[in-house]
Amino acid sequence: MDKLIKDILKQAPAIKVNGSLWLESDGTHFFGPGPVELLEGIAETGSISEAAKKMRMSYKKAWELVNTLNAQSVNPVVIPRTGGEKGGGSTLTDEALELIKYHRLLRQRFATFLAEETEKLKK
């Protein structure tokens, strides 16, 4: 590590490298922890509304996230169903499940990177 960095930072165990991870397009975030949690909630409940409630997110915000994800994908990731005897609901596509899986793996690699960089600060 650069000797200058060691001279600048205190050697305290509280210092660590940290960060957040998301995908963006044209400078706008569209896929990260929030949308992943929403998709997982939709998969669990079968409902955008119920998933939003679990997250304490407005229904409008949840729909905005779903529409943004669908707009960024070649094929829709959430398929809404309207009406019917039991009401509407929503289903995730295989593409949505792949995005969730990709994000989990990406976060694991990112966590490893952050831990490695934190260790470098301690040397």
* Residue 6 domain-assigned (yes or no): no
When divided into structural domains, the chain yields a total of: 1
* Residue 16 domain-assigned (yes or no): no
Q: For residue 78, give the DSSP letter.
A: E
CA distance 69 to 78: 8
Longest CA–CA span in the chain (Å) reads 69
Predicted confidence (pLDDT) per residue in 4-17, tens digit = 666 777 765 677 88
The model's pTM is 0.83
Predicted confidence (pLDDT) per residue in 66-112, tens digit = 999 999 999 999 998 876 566 678 999 999 999 999 999 999 999 99
* Residue 8 domain-assigned (yes or no): no
Range of the domain at 87: 21-122
Indicate which CATH number applies to the domain containing 73.
1.10.10.10
Mutual angle of helices 48-55 and 33-45, in 10-degree steps: 130
